[in-house]
Amino acid sequence: MICLGRNVATDETVAVEFGETIGSVRVDENAAMDSVCLAPGFVDIQVNGFGGVDFNDPRVSIEDVGRALDAMFASGVTRCLPTVITGPPDAMVACLRNLRRAQVELVHGGAIVGFHIEGPHIGAEDGPRGAHPVAWVRPPDIEEFRRWQDAANGGVRLVTLSPHWPGAVGYVSELVKSGVVVSIGHTAATAEQIVAAVDAGATLSTHLGNAALRNPAKFPNCLWDQLAEDRLHASFIVDGLHLDPAFLRVALRAKSIERTILVTDAAAPAGAEVGPYKLGELDVDLTADDRVLLRGTQRLAGSALRMNRAIANLMRIGGVSLRDAVQTATVNPARLIGLAGRTRGLFESERGDVVVFRDTPELAMEAVYLDGVRVA
């Protein structure tokens, strides 16, 4: 396969020849393609569901998981971490086992490169807990983590927790030693607790600016503490709903493009029709203005965001370039989780994950390839 267009990372007009891996990327000034752009496939490390399919329902069929992946491919995402949120212990294990089956059995199951566990070791109070069910919030338990890994065949790659729990430091250290990325999120932890978690190996803040105290102290507060910690990357949900524009711009300056990661935090309603849905045991509704709300409230519960729109929003709201916005959805998350073959961009011997799109206000996708096979 050969794709022609503008490499967004270099602004050069190139011809990319690829199959399962990229064979060559050569400058070709005769291949000018107007606004056609080329980039590595997008990587989403936090996605709870898509296309009407809830990854937090262990009864979801393998075929439905495949349908969700197909819908994600259309937004440019070629690799993802399906995310299991706070829930009953047995249900979380069952979800992981089901998603692992999809990873193995689906034709394009390789798009699932692991799993993200968001909770249940989070803050129980309103605000930090977000929409997670309070009944299932519980302290870190290394034996529970091992049950997750057993169900996922060792595929859990990212765990989000609050470091306020007694024993959190030892838990973080054990997970990091096993090769798992640990993220701080859904927390009202103190500065000392955040530093201790980072010292133990935590390297990310999950959807920073969300799932926090509604009226934090001027200082100290855990948002400033995480923004100021240069050892932490930060992920952001840039849908125009989850974050105040001024906060996003300040956060981008604090973290820099190199430590910024775009996530969708998409739930089942993403890419689906307005109406009622489930997120695990939670009832949610997709509204006409693309908000995913906990039923009967105005509380956001995940998003309906597509990654191509997240990139466009980051440019529009955050004031960053196309090159930088694409970096936050490609090589940055790949480097964070150690995703082999995806850490350098459009280079020889990298995976044949390529997206072709138009540089339009919403990044109109034209073609998406996974391991050299067109999937959208």
Task: State the first-to-last Cα distance of the chain, in angstroms, to the nearest integer.
Answer: 15
Residue 370, Cα to own-chain centre: how many angstroms?
A: 18
For tokens 């980072």, the residue is 198
Query: Left, alpha or beta for 66 (phi > 0: left; psi -120 to 50: alpha)?
Result: alpha
Given the residues 44, 64, 225, 265, the one annotated as active site: 265
- 265 belongs to the catalytic site: yes
Q: What is the 3-state secondary structure (H, E, C) of 146-200?
A: HHHHHHCCCCEEEEEECCCCCCHHHHHHHHHHCCCEEEECCCCCCHHHHHHHHHC
Cβ atoms of 330 and 45 within 8 Å: the answer is no
Q: What is each CA distance from 22 to 5, 15, 331, in whole angstroms?
A: 15, 11, 15
Three-state SS at 335: helix
Rg of the Cα atoms in the chain: 20
Q: How many helices and strands, by DSSP H and E, does the chain display?
A: 10, 20
As annotated, the active-site residues are: 265
